[in-house]
Structure 1
Amino acid sequence: MKNYDRIWATVDLDAIKHNMAAMKVNLREETKIIAVVKTDGYGHGAVPIAHEIEDLPYLYGFAVATVEEALILRGSGIRKPVLILGYTFPYCYEKMAREEIRPAVFREDMLEEMGKAAVSCGRPVKIHIKVDTGMSRIGIRPDESGLAFVRKCMETPGIEIEGIFTHFARADETDKTPARQQLEQFLDFTGRIRRELGIHIPVQHCSNSAGIVGLGEANLDVVRAGITLYGLWPSEQVAKDIVPLKPVLSLRSRIVYIKELEAGRAVSYGGTFVTQAPTRVATIPAGYGDGYPRGLSNKGSVLIAGKRAPILGRICMDQFMVDVTGIPEAKEGDVVTLIGPDGDDAITMEELGELSGRFNYELACCLNKRVPRVYVKDGETVYSKDSFRDFR
């Protein structure tokens, strides 16, 4: 395997499976899981993760945000259902039909164009109808106009209704009342579909990660596991003693330079930190150009030899400095933990998100292609991915 010294992210595939199993224990036996792997698996790597869990019997399939993400999964050999959660454009409808990719549908013009594409290629488009019960983003209303839309779906040649779903806006809050109100609207609407249109839609889903953990009554035919799949929490208000999660990703670099600074020396751009005493400073060759938040300037810390080293001054695009005065054993070449465990301590994405004014989802997704991913299973590296050869 390649050696990545400047910066690298380690993705623990065993932790992915642990989190899947931990979520499943909290579900009804017949409820399956959709693994949400949009934004390249929240920055963790959609393809390796999808291959690791595709054979789980309780995995229904995967969810992504765009047709391109869906086609990447299909192109890598993933065969279970892939649902696109957002809007899909007409240029891809025939390709979706051929690849059996499931779109979310909520506009009549989508239905018409998808139906034509399906008839043209001789394969039905299996759709999931999106219902807006309070997110106010996309989706049909759960009223008479919504019933008319479902009827239109039933009547459109080439269209097969496989699923119907909604999305909670506030399930990650302590008070579950708003989420329960959305669930009630959804169940009332699907009940009307059965009674008034005479159709039972086989795959109904509401729960996101927060619902999986704290809203058992919303765990219907399937649930959509997003941030919890990666061992991260939807919010600070979500109970952490119900589903035991393991963080999947760690981020590390190395010390490339150590210097002794006298009192009164400014560190980094703008001189926002000035040493008050003789200080031993280490330079780390990573920065916001890798997705490491600039908002951690003068706030965050890293772990070196299991000890905290505070960040000094502004984080640069490609480098930042830390105080190793209290870590006399630190030397050039030593591993630095930016995210993850080291000794008895650990730096979490939740901690970094709170300090930098971001949140854990965003932090994970923003670790960009300049950061190689190394995939580990049973303590051994099984795969690595980088983009350094993309343009060679």
Structure 2
Amino acid sequence: MQTRPCWVEICTRSLEDNYRLLASLAGPQVDLLAIVKANAYGHSLKLCAPAVVRAGAQWLGVTSVEEGIEARSVCPDARVLVIGSVFPGQAQDVVRHKLTPVVWDLRQFDELEAAASAADVRSIAVHLEIDTGMSRQGTDLESLAPLLARFHSESPLRLEGVMTHLFAADEADERVTDDQLDRMEAILSHIRAAGLHAGILNIGNTAALLAGQAHKISTLAARHKMKAMMRPGLALYGLVPEYDPAFSPAEPISLGHARSKLQPVLSWKSQVVSLRTVEPGAVVGYNGTFVATEPMRLALVAVGYADGLDRKLGNHFSLLVRGQRAPVVGRISMDQSVIDVTDIPDVAAGDDVVIVGHQGDETISAFDHAKTAGTIPWEIFTRIGERVPRVAT
């Protein structure tokens, strides 16, 4: 059946190439956890998780047990780390689908132990999250002892990894990151003093990896006889985080190198539905926020805010048609947008319109969307609606 002409193309080969590039940057001393949470940042977990596994990934990172089940269905042999909480009633699915949960709360221990007992499972690997300063999730030094006490010979829970989140890895002076790593050093010493050993030190996102912090993290891991693991997300999908000049006057040279090598994975497209000519004084869209001052040729495009196109882009953005930028005029509707094609010859119904991606010599990136909408590219990707089909190319 012919579908509405609004779709996303996913280049899985680019994704595979990006993973291999990131693995080479990390080096053999660091394993990578490929982040495919939030439907692979809006790119489609079903398409992207198998692609990174083909490229060599042994670990997949998801937010929830639900995502973990989906990842397991398409990647039966991968390790799947559930980074968000295991909520009440979900521990049985963790056991059933052989997921690896992140824990930091005694309630999670209780639920996992009960589920393991009910299923007669004797060993469940878990990763213990440490809060090293973000105040989001994880335990701190003061609350650590009761959790460590739960890793005993009668418990099915096995401490496989210790993790934290470097929340300011995109700040070039690295002071915050260094402070977090110092806190982690102290935590690891307490864990060893308790007679426990975790084999994996799971630290660092895209920004940390591309900023060259893999060596620092792997050195910390080696001091505690652990293997370092880093968690690239945005870079897998071909984008490099931009450093905030308020915190980082100059970004590391390594980011520029990565930006030249990584390949965008997602292209978002629609089509021209119909065209019309309007006279001066004609209003366009809801509330007449755009009024024609001269005769104009307008194209109706099958994409709106229900598809994920930010309503704030109306009158402030352009889309690509026939390789040229066509300004969005009027407010973006739920299902449609209007672009000005007065100066673009031969536009016709059925012409492809690029929302994210390239056409001819022009490119529109998720960063372009984010700057105009006042947000970040992560949100641009994850906002693309479920009703927009993802197609592998």
Instruction: State the 1:12 CA deviation.
Output: 0.5
Does the CA-based 8 Å contact 1:32-1:223 persist in structure 2? Answer: yes
Q: Within the alignment, does 1:242 sit opposite 2:257 as a pair?
A: yes
How does the TM-score come out when normalised to structure 2?
0.90
Does the CA-based 8 Å contact 1:5-1:254 persist in structure 2? Answer: no
Residue in structure 1 matched with residue 31 of structure 2 by the alignment = 32
The 2-side partners of 1:55 and 1:319 are apart by 38
Q: Within the alignment, does 1:352 sit opposite 2:350 as a pair?
A: no
Sequence identity, in percent?
Answer: 31
Kindly report which structure 2 residues correspond to 1:55-74, keeping only aligned pairs within 5 A, or say none.
55-57=54-56, 59-74=57-72
Instruction: State the 1:61 CA deviation.
Output: 0.7
**Which structure 2 segments of 5+ residues have no match?**
222-227, 245-250
The 2-side partners of 1:80 and 1:159 are apart by 20
Q: Within the alignment, does 1:227 sit opposite 2:238 as a pair?
A: no
**Bigger shift: residues 24-33 or 367-376:** 24-33
Kindly report which structure 2 residues correspond to 1:99-138, keeping only aligned pairs within 5 A, or say none.
99-123=97-121, 124-138=123-137
Kindly report which structure 2 residues correspond to 1:209-358, keeping only aligned pairs within 5 A, or say none.
209-214=206-211, 215-216=213-214, 217-218=216-217, 221-237=228-244, 239=252, 240-243=255-258, 244-358=261-375
Alpha-carbon displacement from aligned partner over 1:27-63 (angstroms, at most 9, x marks no partner): 1213111111111111111122111222444x23111
Residue in structure 1 matched with residue 248 of structure 2 by the alignment = none
**Bigger shift: residues 24-33 or 34-43:** 24-33
Does the CA-based 8 Å contact 1:115-1:156 persist in structure 2? Answer: no
The 2-side partners of 1:78 and 1:45 are apart by 17
The 2-side partners of 1:3 and 1:343 are apart by 26
The 1-side partners of 2:320 and 2:168 are apart by 34
Residue in structure 2 matched with residue 390 of structure 1 by the alignment = none
Output the amino acid matched with 1:225. Answer: P
**Bigger shift: residues 85-94 or 303-312:** 85-94
Alpha-carbon displacement from aligned partner over 1:143-193 (angstroms, at most 9, x marks no partner): 243144223234561111111100011112233211221122112311332
**Which structure 1 segments of 5+ residues have no match?**
377-392
Output the amino acid matched with 1:52. Answer: A
Q: Within the alignment, does 1:198 sit opposite 2:213 as a pair?
A: no
Alpha-carbon displacement from aligned partner over 1:107-128 (angstroms, at most 9, x marks no partner): 1122122112212212222110
Does the CA-based 8 Å contact 2:296-2:340 persist in structure 1? Answer: yes
Tell me, what secondary structure is at the counterpart of 2:147?
helix
The 2-side partners of 1:330 and 1:135 are apart by 51
How does the TM-score come out when normalised to structure 1?
0.90
What is the CA RMSD across the aligned residues, in angstroms? Answer: 1.7
Does the CA-based 8 Å contact 1:111-1:153 persist in structure 2? Answer: no
Does the CA-based 8 Å contact 1:302-1:336 persist in structure 2? Answer: yes
Instruction: State the 1:75 CA deviation.
Output: 2.4
Structure 1 residues 56 and 309 mapped into 2: Cα distance closer, same or farther (>3 Å)?
A: closer
Tell me, what secondary structure is at the counterpart of 1:355?
helix
